[in-house]
Amino acid sequence: MELAYENRNTDLRVCPRFRGERHDTQTLGSFQNITSENFTIGDISAAVFRGVVENLCEMMEGVLENGSTLYAVGIAERPILKYYVQDLLGDYVLHDKEVTAAFGAVMFDIDNGL
């Protein structure tokens, strides 16, 4: 993960839909902008992490539009994930290494009046 963080600004792009999407099983994954300079374990790892976070963001379309707060559980100890989540979602995300999935579920219920 250190190499991925060191290469977090790579221009290599990975679309990690290697088994399709539920709504479109024909959509497949891809690599873009591959060069001899960025074909390294650090760049590839960073691109995969970014691709996963981007894919999750695409699945959450509409969630952010209603002003919801997202609780990112388990990313505080993973700087590369924390970087991409903050970069793509900004202030919509709260994260803390002490927060558990159960806390996130309770906060979701409270925020949504459940």
Residue 15 has pLDDT above 80, yes or no: yes
Q: What is the pLDDT at residue 26? A: 77
With beta carbons less than 8 A apart as the criterion, state whether 67 and 32 touch: no
Q: Give the residue-averaged pLDDT of 74-103.
A: 74
Q: How far apart are CA 12 and CA 43, in angstroms?
A: 7
CB 4 within 8 A of CB 45: yes
Has residue 8 got a pLDDT over 90? Answer: yes
**For 22-33, how does the pLDDT look when each residue is reduced to its tens digit (9 = 90+)?**
777 777 888 999
For residue 17, pLDDT over 90 is answered with no
Interatomic CA distance for residues 11 and 38, integer angstroms = 8
Q: Which two tokens stand for residue 102?
A: 């159960």
Confidence of residue 99 (pLDDT cuts 50, 70, 90): low
Terminal Cα-to-Cα distance of the chain (whole angstroms): 37
